[in-house]
Chains A and B, each alone.
Chain A
Amino acid sequence: MARFSRIELAALIAPGVLIVTLLLLAPAINLLRFSFYAAGSTEIEGDAGFGNYAALLSDPYILRIIGKTLLISLAVTFLCLVISLPISNFVWRAPSRWKTGLMILILSPLLVSVVVSSFGWVVLLGTKGLINNLLIGLGIIGAPLPLLYSDLSLILGLTHVLLPFMILSLVAVLEKIDPLLMEAAATLGAPSHRIWWHVQLPLALPGIGAGTTIVFALAMSSYVTPAVLGPNGPNFITTLIYQYFVNLYDWGNGATLSVVLLIISTAVVALYTTLLSRRILRSTRMS
């Protein structure tokens, strides 16, 4: 392979750095700048200082939506984890000739647009949807249940689209575990649930950490699913942001909420990874 001088290397990296700066960093800085605009203003003259932050973060209506966004994202993360554990285990233990097929199956929610898969849930959960029709047909309920446009449909929809990320993270880490460790545990007298608890789960921690972080961050910033499946009106921090930007044309508050979302997500993820990292460090000290 050819060797490059420092200057040549810098020249090679420069376009990439430039693109990343322009496309990611610049908008983020711009957003931060917007967040100091006075409500309703798109001009720097309407400088509000931290006024937007103070007003939004003392508004119980806004705080409730932020809180709900957090809670629902946590619920989705937890649900994804619980569902992914047995599935990833199954994929891991499956004969290798099945694995490709299984992986395609797991990835399939990602192959369909989020909009389409969200409308799939509409078909299932609507008042005239499959589930209500079935329950009424069976005589279990008299009137249709309000399944759609609820927190339930939102959680289901988000879990559905984010599940693949969790399963992939778990399968990736399980594949790296030496199967002899399970056998060693078995010869030492461990039944399979204790092998799972004492050996497999601790060794899968890095994957659990990665998967939950990805799912949580994606859930917090998801827009389509809350918009299509969530309760009416602004129900999620992202739909609220949309409302400020597009409906109210209030860039100041929209930008402020975006920054708040970014800070909350980053803070939660940072706290979480710090807490996990010590355990993860322990379980990944593979030689």
Chain B
Amino acid sequence: MASLSIRSVSKAFGANKVLDDVSAEIGTGAFVTLLGPSGCGKTTLLRIIAGLVEADGGEILMDDTNVTRLEARRRGIGMVFQSHALFPHMTVLENVGFGLRMRGVPRQERDRLASEALALVHLRDFGRRYPQQLSGGQQQRVAIARAVVFKPRVLLMDEPFGALDRKLREALQIELRRMTRELGITTIFVTHDQGEALILSDRIALMQAGRLVQIGTPAEVFRQPQTRFAAEFMGVENFFAAQILGSDADGTALACGAARLLSRVQAKLPAGGGIAVGIRAEDIALSDDAHPVNGTSGEVRDVVYHGNTWTISVSSAMGEIVCTTQAGAAANPPANPGETVQLAWRPDAVLVIPDP
């Protein structure tokens, strides 16, 4: 119910620069996931948006109102803390109802709304328990219910699904997405899980060492990572240094050592520039074609079984290449160590990374 502008926010703890000129515009009702390695400043950014930490520089705007100096309690932001921060002396129902209580909602109405919120996170019958009587995942869900029950304008969630098993996680992802859409709550969701980010978000923001390195739709971030870090974080395993030979409407021709590659991506970069290409392991296949458009051959080093897939490491002229192939019902490995194999990939699998 509010748009959020983060403008040139920076923060240092002593000499440790934790946030460095972070800016983002988040539209009303948008769902943004914040992805980044541990210690890159995600929690700090959320705390600044919530008003719990003062930034050294920059501004936070909600619906074009500058809230940089506004107290946390007046911002109307729901926050799910990484460590839950449930009140140990209150029952689950009292915990969830706390925000409503502070807003003067009468007891009965409060309990009704809190019960509804608990039902949303599949904890309908847990209202009378104390937080210490719940499992980690249950506590996490109570924290979510507590943050959404008063219909905040902005919802900040710091790895809220970390302790949940996959089934519950997926159920809650759908529930959360539905709820924030219905209520139009602008959400920032921190996660380490790129799969979760892809499913949930309108946009993904990738963070590295206190900087936002890329922000875009899931497809953009997945198909067009702008830096090697972004590509790695989005699950790209194979990287090669390359030179742009030329680019036209069909795509880009690249030289990767002696090998020639064709990419569907139009590199908006001058010919001759040094870039990197990235190829996902699952986009590389073993091929019978001796001269594919894109491909190379090499000697199999290692074959690992993953249940659904095989991971094959190949030592080729382009360097070490990892590829995964569907295992299907076959119990036999698709190749054996020492064997020479031909690898091939489609032009649209070749990601052009401008900033290696």
A282 — nearest CB in chain B belongs to which residue?
Answer: B89
Task: Name the B residues within 8 Å of A186 (CB-CB).
Answer: 51-52, 71-73
Q: How many Å from the CB of A79 to the closest CB on chain B?
A: 26
The answer to whether B79 and A187 have CB atoms under 8 Å apart is yes
| Selected contact of A202 from candidates B76, B83, B85, B89, CB within 8 Å | B89
Give the total of A residues in contact with B, Cβ under 8 Å: 23
The answer to whether A188 and B146 have CB atoms under 8 Å apart is yes
A195 — nearest CB in chain B belongs to which residue?
Answer: B73
Answer whether residue B132 sits at the interface, using C-beta atoms and an 8 A cutoff: yes
Task: Name the B residues within 8 Å of A191 (CB-CB).
Answer: 73
A186-B52, A187-B50 as given contacts; A194 in contact with B89, CB under 8 Å: no
Task: Name the B residues within 8 Å of A185 (CB-CB).
Answer: 87, 98, 102
Q: Whole-angstrom distance between the alpha carbons of A285 and B87 in the complex?
A: 10
The answer to whether A190 and B52 have CB atoms under 8 Å apart is no
Q: How many Å from the CB of B67 to the closest CB on chain A?
A: 13
B103 — nearest CB in chain A belongs to which residue?
Answer: A189
Q: Whole-angstrom distance between the alpha carbons of A202 and B103 in the complex?
A: 20
> Which residues of A from 272 to 286 have beta carbons under 8 Å from B?
282-286
Task: Name the A residues within 8 Å of B51 (CB-CB).
Answer: 186-187
Task: Name the B residues within 8 Å of A59 (CB-CB).
Answer: none
Task: Name the B residues within 8 Å of A284 (CB-CB).
Answer: 88-89
Answer whether residue A11 sits at the interface, using C-beta atoms and an 8 A cutoff: no
Q: How many Å from the CB of B81 to the closest CB on chain A?
A: 6
Q: Whole-angstrom distance between the alpha carbons of A287 and B88 in the complex?
A: 8
Answer whether residue A76 sits at the interface, using C-beta atoms and an 8 A cutoff: no
The answer to whether B102 and A188 have CB atoms under 8 Å apart is yes
Task: Name the A residues within 8 Å of B86 (CB-CB).
Answer: 184
Task: Name the B residues within 8 Å of A178 (CB-CB).
Answer: 83, 85
Answer whether residue A183 sits at the interface, using C-beta atoms and an 8 A cutoff: yes
Answer whether residue B131 sits at the interface, using C-beta atoms and an 8 A cutoff: yes
Q: Whole-angstrom distance between the alpha carbons of A202 and B86 in the complex?
A: 14
Q: Whole-angstrom distance between the alpha carbons of A257 and B74 in the complex?
A: 59
Task: Name the A residues within 8 Å of B76 (CB-CB).
Answer: 189
The answer to whether A187 and B73 have CB atoms under 8 Å apart is yes
A199 — nearest CB in chain B belongs to which residue?
Answer: B87
Looking at A185, A202, A203, A284, the one whose CB has the most chain B CB atoms below 10 A away is: A185
Task: Name the A residues within 8 Å of B85 (CB-CB).
Answer: 178, 180-181, 183-184
Answer whether residue B205 sits at the interface, using C-beta atoms and an 8 A cutoff: no
The answer to whether A187 and B88 have CB atoms under 8 Å apart is no
A interface footprint on B54-93 (CB within 8 Å = 1, 0 otherwise): 0000000000000000011111111101010111110000
Q: Whole-angstrom distance between the alpha carbons of A189 and B79 in the complex?
A: 11
Q: Whole-angstrom distance between the alpha carbons of A37 and B98 in the complex?
A: 62
Answer whether residue B150 sits at the interface, using C-beta atoms and an 8 A cutoff: yes
Task: Name the A residues within 8 Å of B78 (CB-CB).
Answer: 187
The answer to whether A184 and B79 have CB atoms under 8 Å apart is yes
The answer to whether B72 and A286 have CB atoms under 8 Å apart is no
The answer to whether B89 and A283 have CB atoms under 8 Å apart is yes
Answer whether residue B41 sits at the interface, using C-beta atoms and an 8 A cutoff: no
The answer to whether A188 and B52 have CB atoms under 8 Å apart is no
A184-B79, A186-B72, A187-B78 as given contacts; A203 in contact with B132, CB under 8 Å: no
B102 — nearest CB in chain A belongs to which residue?
Answer: A189
Answer whether residue B218 sits at the interface, using C-beta atoms and an 8 A cutoff: no
Q: How many Å from the CB of B52 to the closest CB on chain A?
A: 5
Looking at A183, A184, A188, the one whose CB has the most chain B CB atoms below 10 A away is: A188
B76 — nearest CB in chain A belongs to which residue?
Answer: A189
The answer to whether A190 and B102 have CB atoms under 8 Å apart is yes
Contacts A187-B73, A188-B98, A188-B146 known; 5 new A-B pairs at CB < 8 A: A178-B85, A181-B87, A183-B85, A189-B74, A285-B133
Nearest 5 CB-CB pairs, A to B?
A283-B89, A188-B99, A189-B102, A287-B132, A184-B85
B: residues with CB less than 8 A from A are: 50-52, 71-79, 81, 83, 85-89, 98-99, 102-103, 130-133, 146-147, 150
A: residues with CB less than 8 A from B are: 178, 180-181, 183-191, 194, 198-199, 202-203, 282-287
5 contacts between A and B (CB under 8 A): A186-B73, A187-B51, A187-B75, A187-B78, A287-B132
